[in-house]
Amino acid sequence: MTEDQTNNSKLMWVIVGALVVIVALGAAYMWLNTKNTQDQDKELEQLVNTTPKPKPKVKAPPVAESVQAASEAVDEHALVNEDILREQVPQNASLAKEELARLEDIQKQLNDQDESLKGQHQDADKLIQLKEEQIKLLEQQMSAKNS
């Protein structure tokens, strides 16, 4: 074998070895990253499961019970609970980012709902105006028919 051939062979083995090391490091990183996210998921699940539900402490008078029951029914389907304001921000950066993303999503839903309600309000005002005009026209027709 010539000197060039042996150098090429050694160079080839060095390149193959470097590629193997890079692949091994990548696999180790992926394995550690998935293990870390599984731990974070478990922590998040524990936080969600251990959050106590607030119970009303003061009993309302019997007259207001129906109003309170109606407001509780609305609260069950509400996007935002007052508990969000009292919850602590997670110390883990990734959990805090997830919490921020969740809160931003809720804020976006609230903004969309606000826009939708404003649009419905404008439509209702326009319908009321059209109905008033229709009533005036019908009253004119009735007065014209009676005279």
Percent of the chain exceeding pLDDT 70 equals 64
Q: For residue range 30-44, list pLDDT tens digits in order.
A: 888 777 677 776 776
Which is nearest to 54 in space by CA: 32, 28, 76, 22? Answer: 76
Q: Is residue 77 part of a domain?
A: no
In a domain, 76, yes or no: no
What is the number of structural domains in the chain?
Answer: 2
Q: Is residue 107 part of a domain?
A: yes
Is the pLDDT at 129 greater than 70? The verdict is yes
- pLDDT given at position 61: 46
Question: Quick one: pLDDT at residue 64?
Answer: 46
Q: Is residue 24 part of a domain?
A: yes
Separation CA 40–CA 119 (nearest Å): 41
What range does the domain containing 139 cover?
100-147
pTM above 0.85, yes or no: no
Residue 71 resides in a domain: no
- Residue 7: inside a domain, yes or no? yes
Task: Kindly state whether residue 72 falls inside one of the protein's structural domains.
Answer: no
Q: pLDDT digits over 47-99, tens only?
A: 666 655 555 454 444 444 544 555 555 555 666 677 766 777 667 888 888 88
